[in-house]
């Protein structure tokens, strides 16, 4: 019963984000034009993509239609860290820009 309820809630949340008119929301660097629930879902997906794509990296910067994943490497005997970044794009079906 709990599984069914969870699936219904998950489906409703997904449909609610999808049902918004494309003209009423879009993704930009500030993320001010996305409702809280959809904004959180997008951030979760972006962070998960960083973890999977770049071997455990984290979200370093959100630029709207693109985002930067970052991972720091330290080498023994080397006083400095090596910063590796990778820029990724959002899915094609997400409206970007005003």
Looking at the structure of the chain, the number of domains it has is 1
- Tell me which residue has tokens 């990296």: 57
Q: What is the mean pLDDT of the chain?
A: 73
Q: Is residue 6 part of a domain?
A: no
Q: Is residue 5 part of a domain?
A: no
In a domain, 15, yes or no: no
Confidence category of residue 97, pLDDT binned at 50, 70, 90: low
Count Cβ atoms within 10 A of the Cβ of residue 47 and give its class: 0-12 exposed, 13-18 middle, 19 or more buried. middle
Sign for the CA dihedral angle at 93, 16, 35, 44 comes to negative
pLDDT single digits (tens) 25-58: 677 788 888 877 888 888 888 888 888 877 778 8
Evaluate whether 68 touches 50 at the Cβ level (below 8 Å). no
Q: What is the DSSP annotation of 48-98? A: HHHHHHTTS-EEEEE-SSEEEEEEEEE-TT-SSEEEEEEEEE--TTS-B--
Domain containing 61 equals 22-89
């Amino acid at each position: 019963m709990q599984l069914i309820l969870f699936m219904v809630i998950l489906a409703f949340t997904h449909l609610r984000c999808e049902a918004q008119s494309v003209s009423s929301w879009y993704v930009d660097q500030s993320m001010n034009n996305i409702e809280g629930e959809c904004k959180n879902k997008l951030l979760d997906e972006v962070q998960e993509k960083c973890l999977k794509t770049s071997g455990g990296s984290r979200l370093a910067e959100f630029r709207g239609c693109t985002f930067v994943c970052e991972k720091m490497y330290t080498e023994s005997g080397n006083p400095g860290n090596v910063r590796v970044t990778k820029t990724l794009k959002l899915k094609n079906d997400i409206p970007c820009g005003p």
